[in-house]
Amino acid sequence: MKFKKTDIGQPVNILANDHYVAINYDCSELSAKAKDGVIPAGTMIPANDATAIGVLLNDVVLEEDPNGAVVVHGFIDKSKLPEEPNEAVDIKQIVFLPFDIGALPKSKETDKAAVMPQDNEPIKGEGSKKVSEMISPDTKILEDGSVEGTLYKVDGFKAFNTSNVAEQSGHFFPFTLSEEPGSKMTFKKNGSESKKDIDYDKDIVFRIDDNQTKFEVLVDGNSVIKLNFEKATLQE
């Protein structure tokens, strides 16, 4: 009896964190992408171009089982992929890390822009969380200041409030101010001052109580951005 030996190296983890959504996909028609009968994890499916719908999660040995799991939502570590994603690849709910964050849409009331911080940089230092642990890749600020996207339920965010354990869990929204820095900042939550005349820090994280929560940021007495979360999904 003859046996065929297929050598497979150590599994490659293409995920930047453990939050993702994958679908089943029949890879039997993608033999051209295989090397020694194996389609490697990180392969763009069905092709590395505008037709891509996702990224192959694990190696697929075609002779054993052509069915694979394709990630359609989540954060992907670009350094683990067999090839760089083509410029034409545009999978709406996948973010390839590391990446350059562009400006989000501006608020009509303030005409100021905010940008999302780098995901691989911890927010607020020790005991912190990454951006991808707080919000979904498609989260954005609309022109009226509405935040649209999914805010994940977070536990153990000790750096947010080291003295109040109750505020270390919940839904959090991180963002970075992009205008010229000022001297002092004031935060308003639902119209009332929650912090007043604190030292300027462009990196901000707000804790969101519910969809009716509203925040305003003032720098040196001037309103720079207003946020509301009526259109956000607060995941439990």
Range of the domain at 36: 15-97
63 lies in the same domain as 163: no
92 lies in the same domain as 118: no
185 lies in the same domain as 134: yes
Q: What value does the mean pLDDT take over residues 85-94? A: 90
118 lies in the same domain as 93: no
Measured CA to CA, the distance from residue 232 to residue 85 in angstroms comes to 29
**In total, how many domains does the chain have?**
2
Relative to beta strand 153-154, strand 38-39 is: unpaired
- How many C-beta atoms surround the C-beta of residue 119 within 10 A? 23
- The burial class, CB within 10 Å (0-12 / 13-18 / 19+), for 178 is middle
Q: Are 15 and 74 in contact (CB under 8 A)?
A: yes
Q: With CA atoms as reference, report the closest residue to 224 among 146, 112, 144, 85.
A: 112
Relative to beta strand 184-189, strand 192-199 is: antiparallel
Tokens of 236: 């439990």
In tens, the pLDDT along 2-42 reads 444 445 456 789 998 888 899 999 999 999 999 999 999 99
91 lies in the same domain as 167: no
92 lies in the same domain as 130: no
In tens, the pLDDT along 132-189 reads 889 988 888 888 889 999 999 999 888 888 889 999 999 999 988 877 778 999 999 9
